[in-house]
Amino acid sequence: MQGIIIDTSSVVVTLNCNLNCKLCNTGVPYRKKPVRFSTEFLKLSIERYFRTVDFARKFSFTGGEPFLREDLAELTAFTQGFDNQFDVLEIVTNGTIMPSEATLQVFEKFRSNVFILIDEYGDLSVNADKLSNALAERSVNHLVRKYSGASIYQNGWVDLTQFKKYNTPEQAKIIYKKCAVPNKLKKISGGYRDVKIDENTCFGVYTVLINGVVYRCMRPFIAMERGIDFNKEHQFVDIVDNNKTTETIREEIITMFNLEYPSICEYCPGMCDDSKRYIPAEQA
């Protein structure tokens, strides 16, 4: 069986958010009853993920807004039990919420591999500076990514809220090769431990783990929520299904990554360098 190494894995720990952004790529404003994930279910999902995947260079808590979770410190500490299987535990926040002192202490305790990414949306991100200062005082690695002012990160957001048949299969292959998902993530170099990639390794650039299921990006999950009729064969893997062995799940993930492109690319404009950009975080 091949080893499985993933460059970046995002874990959606919540579909709730305290912002209501029109172009939210996880569809927060358009979801009437978001699924709520219990602490124990998220722990199970994380445990099963690391039982299945040998190594993830970056393991990322995303949302929604992760700082809305009162158990964020507990989830952070739990994930550290698998620290031999990842390099960086990243937590992405919109800079609106100050975490509790207990949470900051956990970040400090595990600062050797915890990284906080603060997306700053101008006046909306009322605690971005305060959070940055608190992390700096504790020597916790972090970055404030500016989505406001003169130099907006990546020149703004891409509109990924629509699902329609944008591309033929051939066009979808081109879109996938241009997309940020496979092309703009961390490379197999500097800042990470050496990882052997050879014919016995399945290397995936990106996965999203949500509700116990692994996808190659977030869009298949949203498409299924909205009843979009696309080819779902080998497009996701349920890793908490007790009827499947770990080896079966690993085989399914390898099959998913051996596909030339995710079929949902036929229903996506792509998040590419030449995609049209919009003002970030405009509120619905």
**pLDDT tens-digit series, residues 80-110:** 999 999 999 999 999 999 999 999 999 999 9
Give the model confidence (pLDDT) of 202-246 as tens digits. 989 899 999 999 999 999 999 999 999 999 999 999 999 999 999
Other CB atoms within 10 Å distance of the CB of residue 105: 13
Helix, strand, or coil (residue 217): coil
Task: Name 2's Cβ contacts closer than 8 Å, sequence gap at least 6.
Answer: 200, 201, 202, 254
Comparing CA positions, the residue from 189, 181, 207 lying closest to residue 272 is: 181
Confirm if 121 and 95 have CB atoms less than 8 A apart: yes
Bin 90: left if φ > 0, else alpha if -120 < ψ < 50, else beta.
beta
Comparing CA positions, the residue from 99, 169, 54, 121 lying closest to residue 283 is: 121
Q: Which two tokens stand for residue 47?
A: 């445990």
Give the model confidence (pLDDT) of 3-43 as tens digits. 999 989 999 999 999 999 999 999 999 888 888 999 999 99
The answer on pLDDT for 133 being more than 80 is: yes
- Dihedral over alpha carbons 36, 143, 126, 60 (to 10 degrees): 0
Beta bridge pairs of residue 114: 89
| Sign of the four-CA dihedral 239, 241, 242, 247 | negative
Phi, psi values for residue 255, rounded to 5°: -60, -45
Comparing CA positions, the residue from 50, 3, 1 lying closest to residue 201 is: 3
pTM (whole model) above 0.75: yes
Q: List, in order of start, the domains of the chain with CATH numbers.
A: 3-267 (3.20.20)
**DSSP state at residue 98:** P
Task: State how far the Cα of 39 lies from the Cα of 106, in Å rounded to an integer.
Answer: 17
Give the model confidence (pLDDT) of 148-190 as tens digits. 998 899 999 999 999 999 999 999 999 999 998 776 555 543 4
Helix, strand, or coil (residue 254): helix
pLDDT over 70 for what percent of the chain? 96
Task: State how far the Cα of 83 lies from the Cα of 111, in Å rounded to an integer.
Answer: 12
Task: State how far the Cα of 53 lies from the Cα of 250, in Å rounded to an integer.
Answer: 7
